[in-house]
Chains A and B, each alone.
Chain A
Amino acid sequence: MPIARAAKRATARLGAVVLAGALLAACGSSDSPDSADGAGGKVTLTVDLFGSFGFKEAGLYEEYEKLNPGVKIKQSDTQDEADYWKSLQTRLAGGGGLADVQGVEVGRIASVTQQQSDKFQDLKEFGADRLKGEFAEAKWSAATTKDGKILGLGTDVGPEAMCYRTDLFEQAGLPTDREELAKRWATWDGYLELGKEYKKKAPAKSAWLDSVGSLYGIMIGQEEERYYDASGELIYDRNPAVKEAWDTSVEAAEAGLSAKLDQWSPQWNQAFSAGSFATIPCPAWMLGYVKGQAGDGGKGKWDIAKLPGGAGNWGGSYLSIPRAAKHKKEAYALIKWLTAPEQQAKVFQKQGNFPSSTGAIETIADAKDEYFSGAPIGRIFGDAAKESPVQVLGVHDQNVMQQITNALSEVERKGVSSDKAWQTARKGVDNVIG
């Protein structure tokens, strides 16, 4: 049987190749020295972020590299913060694969200061305590541990407003003036009323609102206490503010006002340019996201008005340096520069991320955004930032929020009853807290 023998030989050879490959792989994993990182040579700083921080868009890396010829900056970016956090946690636990600079969302900062303070660099060692006066008080204290370690420098905060499509408003016969709209939707009831009006004469395949998840998120941002109280106890279940945001979102879903999209999903992204929704609750950082997704075609079609129901804050971020980072000193120099007033102001001009540095806030008061029909973003977001409450942060803020918006999607997309969905949310939160 010559064929069988040949086959056998081939199999043996294949086996040898596979084995050799496995051995090589096992041996080859040792660190290869990074030749570019030698003394006196170039330092490559890695920056790992989520969403849109806007540093690259505002040309800040290029500028920094020009100012510091010895430094090269490499940025990686994950769109969805939940995915980003997952991989960051895995790498922190393993102690490898960490970037020199890691972004941290404000909903996670309590987890960093309370659970992982030993895994992040105390920036005080580099003299960060001298910067304290430059930042908004609440922003600064949230990144400081009880024993005084400073674990991150604030980039932006998330004062809230409402973005809307003037072209779609026009087609539906609604006013497009931002001042008039602010008056008509002074309350959330007014916003829903206007939505119902929109629905009657709206262009085909266009909803009033992108998703009830966004609506819930922006409403919860108007509250001081949300999921935790000041003593750190979980209170989402009996907090009337959560209930109100929930009920309003359910009402919007049941009235069919939303485009039934999931925030951060590919479909949500596509819908920005397709005109699937007329309004989107937008914290300042959302401006950059809208620009990115709606593209040049959306320029001038968008506008921004004051948020219904008062000022609020949703999100905002920090830059931190993990203990396991390779170039801590250089990384600190970079984040100190990136979060300095001038740079924060530049990011705001370009991307709309609202500065957390008090110095920067003063310089941008008159800023306008051409993309958003020349809306006075400096004033709108500046006012919101001044009036928004200082929020109580908790370890699982972000996860609790995710479970609740997930359950709201059930109401929105599947028509599940409010009570049943709330049970789902509670079960989800229990599951998260474990």
Chain B
Amino acid sequence: MSLTATAKAGPPSPAGTGPGPDDGRAATLRRTWRKASPYAYIAPFFTLFLAFGLFPLLYTAFVSLYRVELQTSGEMEWRGIANYTALFTDEYFWISLRNTFTIGVLSTVPQLAMALGLAHLLNYKLRGRTFIRTAILLPYATSVAAATLVFAQLFGRDFGLINYAIGLVGLDPVDWQTGTVASQIAVSSIVVWRWTGYNALIYLAGMQSIPHELYEAAEMDGASRWRQFIHVTLPGLRPTIIFTVIISTIGATQLFGEPLLFEGSISGGISHQYQTLGLYMYEQGWGFFHLGRAAAIAWVMFVLIVVLVGANALIARRRARKEAGR
């Protein structure tokens, strides 16, 4: 607005002959503005990104080369890559890496499979469709803390509802907190519960963009619903599925709230049996106050996510090319 105003009230041309050159200047200004304005519009995001995204990222890298303790954060002591070498020789790092992977698989795979099935069902004409669609999003709207605390009660060893139910069938109670597999299943179940509906809605949106004629054609050819799902829905959904896989991979790598609150233990159980990388970082940083080491873990996680997402994208592209070549 101010730019146009200046343009209109621009100084009179020295020759004072006519509006010609003045119009030219206004046009130039307008053209510049048209070119520059997109940058102005996106500037707020990038300013925020620089301040809260890029700067912390770089500063974390800087801190990871020092010995910094939260209690005496003013004193920094150069360590070089010692924080990283200490990390790679720490047994608990590898345990938490493995846990992150197993919990990631235990939660992502059933989550996406169930979401796909749910979306497929919701794609049919159902009574109260909108209600059901909203309802499946509810777990996602619940806070991690609330959900996890409820699940921790359900999975309680002595007074938990799940062990009670197991007891009714005549089985021995399971110590959901202590067992490695049991605790990882319990933590994964919270993730599955929270995110299945969210993914189902994304799949549903993807399904609705698949042209209806394809289904009609398939039906004419005598394809059953299952075959339609396999041969029409899944190929049509491929980009959506790749998107959710990438998002879930990132989410699984950063998994933190559920394992932390499950037992209230920063070491992920007494033997680190469900400690994820995120929790391991938190334990080093805010349990033991070793900020330098925590920063090193953060960077290792960052690189890990980049590699995972890159691998995902690569596989996806290669498959797409194969399809195209067929």
Q: Which residues of A contact B (CB under 8 A)?
A: 19, 22-23, 26, 80, 82-83, 86, 89-90, 92-93, 111, 115-116, 205, 262, 264-267, 270-271, 274, 276, 399, 406-407, 409-410, 413-414, 416, 424, 427-428, 431-432, 434
Contacts and interface: CB of A to CB of B under 8 A. Distances in A.
Contacts of A116: 71-72
B44 A19 contact: yes
Given A409-B270, A434-B293, A266 B156 contact: yes
A270 B160 CA distance: 11
Contacts of B45: 19
Given A80-B264, A434-B290, A414 B156 contact: no
Contacts of A428: 267
A267 B271 contact: no
Given A22-B48, A413-B175, A424-B271, A93 B71 contact: yes
A410 B158 CA distance: 18
A92 B90 CA distance: 29
B288 interface: yes
B70 A274 contact: no
A299 to B, nearest CB: 22
Given A93-B70, A265-B264, A266-B264, A432 B270 contact: no
A16 B287 CA distance: 39
Contacts of A262: 263, 265, 270
Given A406-B270, A414-B178, A89 B263 contact: no
Closest 9 CB pairs of A and B: A409-B270, A434-B290, A413-B178, A432-B288, A115-B71, A93-B70, A93-B73, A410-B270, A86-B286
A399 B288 contact: yes
A66 B30 CA distance: 69
Interface of B: 44-45, 48, 69-73, 90-92, 152-153, 156-159, 175, 178, 263-267, 270-271, 284, 286-290, 293
B71 A410 contact: no
Nearest to A416: B271
Contacts of B266: 82, 86
B206 to A, nearest CB: 14
A245 to B, nearest CB: 18
Nearest to A20: B44
Contacts of B71: 89, 92-93, 111, 115-116
A283 B44 CA distance: 57
B157 A267 contact: yes
B271 A414 contact: yes
A154 B271 CA distance: 36
A264 B263 CA distance: 10
Contacts of B90: 431
A266 B153 contact: yes
Nearest to A22: B48
B98 to A, nearest CB: 17
19 contacts: A19-B44, A19-B45, A22-B44, A23-B44, A26-B48, A80-B264, A86-B266, A93-B71, A111-B71, A115-B72, A265-B264, A267-B159, A406-B267, A413-B175, A413-B178, A414-B271, A424-B271, A427-B91, A434-B288
A274 B293 CA distance: 42
Nearest to B283: A431
Contacts of B91: 427
Nearest to B51: A26
Contacts of A413: 175, 178, 270
A270 B289 contact: no
B152 to A, nearest CB: 7
Given A89-B71, A266-B156, A407-B270, 11 more contacts: A26-B48, A90-B70, A205-B158, A262-B263, A265-B264, A267-B158, A270-B158, A271-B158, A414-B178, A431-B284, A434-B293
B288 A431 contact: yes
A430 to B, nearest CB: 10
A416 B180 CA distance: 14
Nearest to B263: A265
A328 B91 CA distance: 46
A409 B267 CA distance: 13
Nearest to A80: B264
A90 B73 CA distance: 10
Nearest to A205: B158
Nearest to A405: B270
A267 B92 CA distance: 26
B128 to A, nearest CB: 24
A327 B142 CA distance: 38
Contact of A270 (B159, B263, B271): B159
Nearest to A411: B270
Contacts of A23: 44
Contacts of A89: 70-71, 286, 289
A276 B72 contact: no
A274 B159 contact: yes
Nearest to B156: A267
B165 to A, nearest CB: 18
Contacts of A266: 152-153, 156, 264
A115 B73 CA distance: 11
A19 B45 CA distance: 8
A274 B270 contact: no
B227 to A, nearest CB: 29
Contacts of B286: 86, 89-90
A86 B264 contact: no
Contacts of A399: 288
A226 to B, nearest CB: 19
B139 to A, nearest CB: 22
A19 B40 CA distance: 13
A431 B270 contact: no
A413 B290 CA distance: 29
Contacts of A82: 266, 287
Nearest to A266: B152
A80 B178 CA distance: 20
Contacts of B44: 19, 22-23
Contacts of A434: 69, 288, 290, 293
Contacts of B153: 266
Contact of B271 (A26, A90, A271, A410): A410
Nearest to B270: A409
Contacts of A22: 44, 48
A434 B44 CA distance: 41
A406 B289 CA distance: 18
A116 B70 CA distance: 11
A23 B48 CA distance: 9
A19 B46 CA distance: 11
Nearest to A19: B44
